Amino acid sequence: MPPLDLGARGEEIAVAYLTDAGLCVLDRNWRCREGELDVVARDRDALVFCEVKTRRGTGYGHPVEAVTPAKQRRLRVLARRWLAAHDEHAPEIRFDVVGVLVHPQRPALVTHLRAAFP
């Protein structure tokens, strides 16, 4: 599976997981000059900006480990841009990370880190 297909598959799995967990997806793959937000969702009173990382294995670490401090800073900037472009308000803003391990012969393994970073 090419990397772009793997990423898209991982996002589909992550969105299904999040909606099954009760989150309402507001936006996917939202882009601006600074980059892209994978998933924006509402979880009761919280707006959730969710980064999805997908891997075939853990040879380079678990997928959630790929959200480095630099990536966290960029996600905060992207969240501000998204909020400025949309009429959505919430008392809480949260950054989640969903790691998806895709195995060819088994169901994907999903790890959801709620409030993964401030």
Question: pLDDT (tens digit, 9 = 90+) per residue, 81-117?
Answer: 999 999 988 999 999 999 999 988 889 999 999 999 9
3-117: which CATH topology?
Trna Endonuclease; Chain: A, domain 1 (3.40.1350)
Position 4 scores a pLDDT of: 63
Domain ranges within the chain, ordered by starting residue:
3-117
Is a pLDDT exceeding 80 seen at residue 39? yes
Q: 40 falls in which pLDDT band (50, 70, 90)?
A: very high
Q: Cα separation of 67 and 88, whole Å? A: 25
Question: pLDDT (tens digit, 9 = 90+) per residue, 44-80?
Answer: 999 999 999 999 988 888 999 999 999 999 999 999 9
Position 115 scores a pLDDT of: 96
Is a pLDDT exceeding 80 seen at residue 3? no
Average pLDDT over residues 31-42: 97
Amino acid of residue 112: H
